Amino acid sequence: MAAVPDELRGLVDRILEAGARLESVEGSTIHFSVERAYLRRVARALYDLGAYFRTCAGSDETLLTGHMVLYHIFGFDEAGLSVVLRVSAPGFAPVVPSIVSEVPAADWCELEAQDLFGIELEGRRARRLILPDDWPEGVYPLRKSFDHDSRPPLGVPPKPPAEAGLPVGPYHPALHEPEYFEIYGEGEIVRGIVYRGFHVHRGIEKLAESRRMVYEDVLFLAERICGICGFVHSCCFAQAVERAAGIEVPERAEFIRSLLLEIERIHSHLLWIGVAAHILGYDAGFMHAWRIREPVMVLAERLTGSRKTYGLNTIGGVRRDVDRDKLGRTIEELKRVRGMFSEFVKVLLAVPQVKQRASGTGVLPRSEARALSVVGPVARASGLYRDVRKDYPYLAYRRVSFKVPLYTEGDNLARLLVRVDEVFESIEIVRQLADGLPQGGVRAERVEVPSLRRAVSSVEAPRGEDLHFVITGVGRPYRWRVRAPTYQNIPALEVMLSGAPLADAPLTIASIDPCFSCTDRVLYYDTTSGTRRRLNLKALVAGGRA
């Protein structure tokens, strides 16, 4: 049996009593295997012990063991401990019990494993989450037998029920990225929503496993997952591989990564605050927020050579050092940004429609936030003290001091205030990192990645915890699972919008800072009158300002 630290022995014993078997202890991650018959009981025990559900990851290991495997990843935030449950099923009949009844936050990732691996879920209604309706049955794109550039023949999508009101094209009512929200209501009151996204699902995880890629290539691929927080994904993947391989990253490189992550957080929050002001009808606020953001983008370019998509990470560190003189100018510029932002926030929060429209709308109670394991500002606005930088310290965050903004109202205003506070905190973090930047190299001298090692990596993105799970292969990942923050937060919108006026929908949906990826149409179905309305962006946002 693997050696268990004394401080974790009681916790491990409780998990073993529920039916799990200890596999290994690797740093702050404990791996268990679970027989299918005990999976629900173990999952429930973890939840009752205070663990948050973080994600699950399917894996085709038929070439290794003849089994399909589903990894459930939990986290004890206060202890900074990750727990991975491995449950397997024969490749010819991969059936695994669903844990959604015990852990509601597992809903999406279970369906993803079903869609992409063909892992059947016992005890829940099957529906498609990621694959389009016309995708052929029995074809599972993340199985090893499916080539990454295959194009299976698509069938005819089933006709939706007459009352479903399926829109012609996917639409987000506040941001120009493709997804599908179907809102059901009585008059102007929302009674339910249906979400269908993944319209631009790019098969990034599959591509990373192909012969076209090596680990260094995947870093560039990871940075293109998101147009705003790409460096987050690049750091998260690099960190996962480094942990799996036991690679020691030079301290100076950790400081540089952390500094750029905070600059990315600042410009991301400023972007969102501007968008929120626009939705609320305060377009002057939108322009001021983006005016203040521009110097931050210039700083990113000065330090890395690019406003976005820095291309700076490498396995074992960073490709280039930063110049001390440039850091000095960065601190001076951020002082100016802080002053401008402080004045702007005073005005923003004094605008009547901002507080009136944001206060008491889109409420997510703490209990629901806990059940759904929401992350980032969404969690912290609902009273959940969750921040990966504090809970699972990584890079140079052990070396800096900062506060985690926490509010209990759970409404749109609280989510706005969390981001406002975080801008100030991030500016202070950058100052501390620049002042304390150690000497030394920026890249590990020896980088070797052994195969079939597992690792969990998480980074606090502007939207919340970004999580990457890696099983190493030969020269490239055997399995790479990415769970972005928005993936964890979208399901909470059903709670936030239920019983709310339709006019609150644009701000509430935008309040989670969703990252989808460019069509402009949504359909509203009034269950009282039986009428349907197709709303474009201008009409819906205008309605929200009324």
List pLDDT tens digits, range 291-312: 999 999 999 999 999 998 999 9
What integer is the mean pLDDT of 390-416? Answer: 97
DSSP letter for 438, please.
P
Q: Is the pLDDT of residue 526 over 70?
A: no
Average pLDDT over residues 483-487: 92
pLDDT at 524 over 90: no
pLDDT of residue 523: 37
Q: Average pLDDT, stretch 487-497?
A: 92
What class, spelled out in words, does domain 204-483 have in CATH? Answer: mainly alpha
Rounded distance, CA 325 to CA 505, Å?
Answer: 46
Q: What is the pLDDT of residue 479?
A: 97
Q: Residue 51 carries which side chain, given as an amino acid letter?
A: A
Would you state the pLDDT for residue 403? 97
Length of the chain: 546
Query: Bigger pLDDT: 151 or 538?
Result: 151
Q: What distance in Å separates the CA atoms of residue 209 and residue 508, rounded to the nearest whole number?
A: 37
**pLDDT band at residue 144, thresholds of 50, 70 and 90?**
very high
Beta-bridge mates of residue 489: none
CATH class of the 6-122 domain in this structure:
alpha beta
At 534 the pLDDT is 45
* Helix intervals (H) in 314-411: 324-348, 352-358, 366-372, 376-381, 388-391
- Strand order across the beta sheet in which 180-186 lies: 189-196, 180-186, 522-526, 532-535
Residue 529's pLDDT band (cuts 50, 70, 90): low
Q: Looking at the predicted structure, is the pLDDT value of residue 253 above 50? A: yes
pLDDT in tens, 433-464: 999 999 999 999 989 999 999 999 999 999 99
**pLDDT category of residue 288 using cuts at 50, 70 and 90:** very high
pLDDT band per the 50, 70, 90 thresholds, residue 166: very low
Is 49 a residue whose pLDDT tops 60? yes
Could you tell me the two tokens for 224?
């293109």
pLDDT band at 128 (very low <50, low <70, confident <90, very high): confident
Residues ≥6 apart with Cβ < 8 Å to 311: 220, 223, 304, 319
Q: What digits encode the pLDDT tens for the residues 56-79? A: 999 999 999 999 999 999 999 999
Q: pLDDT value at position 107? A: 95
Residue 133 has pLDDT above 90, yes or no: no
**Maximum separation of any 2 CA atoms in the chain, in Å:** 70
**Is pLDDT above 50 for 535?**
no
The overall average pLDDT reported for the chain is: 89
pLDDT of residue 199: 65
Side chain identity at residue 475, one-letter code = G
Backbone angles phi, psi at 246, to 5 degrees: 70, 35
Q: What is the mean pLDDT of residues 123-128?
A: 88
Query: What's the pLDDT at 149?
Result: 80
Output DSSP code: residue 410.
-
The span from the CA of 148 to the CA of 530, in Å, is: 44
Identify whether the C-beta of residue 151 lies closer than 8 Å to the C-beta of residue 493.
no
Residue with tokens 């377009």: 283
* pLDDT-above-90 percentage for the chain: 72
Q: What does the pLDDT look like over 103-113, one tens digit per residue?
A: 999 999 999 99
Distant-in-sequence, close-in-space partners of 347: CB < 8 Å, separation ≥ 6: 285, 288
Read off the pLDDT of each residue in 344-373 and give the average, rounded to a whole number.
95
pLDDT of residue 151 exceeding 90, the answer is: no
Q: If pLDDT is split at 50, 70 and 90, which confidence band does 158 have?
A: low
Contact 83, 76 (CB under 8 A): yes
- Distance, in Å, from the CA atom of 299 to the CA atom of 308, rounded to the nearest integer, reads 11
pLDDT at residue 540, rounded to an integer = 46
**204-483 matches 6-122 in CATH topology:** no
- DSSP class of residue 398? G
Task: Name the nearest CA neighbour of 268 among 460, 506, 55, 483.
Answer: 460
Count CB-CB contacts under 10 A for residue 230: 19
Name the pTM for this structure. Answer: 0.91
All structural domains of the chain with their residue ranges:
6-122, 180-200+488-545, 204-483
Please determine, for residue 516, whether its predicted confidence score (pLDDT) is greater than 90: no
Cα distance between residue 19 and residue 288, in whole Å: 56
Provide the pLDDT for residue 196: 73
The token duo for 448 is 């070797």
The mean pLDDT of 263-277, rounded to a whole number, is 96
